[in-house]
Structure 1
Amino acid sequence: MIDVFECRPADIDESPLDDELPSAYVERLARAKAHRFAADDRLVLAADTTVVRDSDLLGKPLDKSHARRMLQSLSGRAHHVWTAVAIAGEGRIDSRTVCTEVSFATLSESLIDAYLATDEPWDKAGSYGIQGLAGCFVSAVRGSYSAVVGLPLCETRQLLTSFDILPHWVASADG
């Protein structure tokens, strides 16, 4: 059983490449993050998420004005959240990519202002966290909720299993 974990930020260039599809973008970043810390004696799990409205990638907000424009653009409409998870180690790297459609209710300017007054939007793709206060903006989710949070749990379990790592409750059930 693995019981030692470290969480490290991977300082990589997150700029999209010219004409890069959202699926390729998040997969490239997740794999780059995993590769950055990979070693023969440890496995590295990494993920990346982006929000896509029409064909525009909405990353983390640069400032309050940028966050406001993103939230206004998501108000009353559907968008896609792309998340990739990657595992590197044992001389290999593998990844999975997930797309989820999220629909927002119409957001009033006062609701956006109140949300922007919190600490929540600043390190989140699209300027929102579905698992927090902005969960009340969401009228529908079609796909993986956990991928919108930032770590697609089903795909993560599949990747871990491919590296012979099982959740403790699964491992204990077998023996």
Structure 2
Amino acid sequence: MRREHGFLAAVGALKFKDVFASSEFLVGVPVGILLASAQTAWGTTELRVSTTTAFVSIITALLGIIFAGFAMVVAFLSPKYLSFLDQSEEGVKKFFRPFMIAIGMQCILLFLAVFHMSLGASLDWVTELVLFWVTSISFAWNVIDVVALARSVMMQATVRARHDRIIGDSEKR
């Protein structure tokens, strides 16, 4: 059951277009490339390490907010709505998958940023730049991906409202 509900299972259920044709990817990656390009052209290793320090602060805050939001969504789902979701093809997993992916991606980014922050100054120039580029692109994509998570919650709110209206209508009869 653990593997079935984990990060890799959630990522494995994604379709190529869900990731690489998403507006979050198409906006986040160019923003990350722009940041990394500017830091490569005009920055120093010290400045890039300082930037990844800021990434760590921002991503840990986002990770805490998203995990708290995930917990709140789980806590406030009504038993009737959970049963309704469970009847769908993929059950409640489809609803919770975006949270699992966001949390997993942010944990990976956190490790990348901490690695760059702690070792960037001692790495050779090329390795440090590659690590910074990967971290910058991942950071921008993760920040923009919060919009996808909000969209997922909004879509579920719409489905829940429709569900509650249908249930309310049937209970009136």
TM range (shorter): under 0.3
For the pair shown, the structure with the greater C-alpha radius of gyration is 2
TM-score (norm 1): 0.26
Compare the two structures and name the one with the higher helix fraction. Answer: 2
The structure whose residues are more often strand, as a share, is 1
TM-score, normalising length from structure 2? 0.26
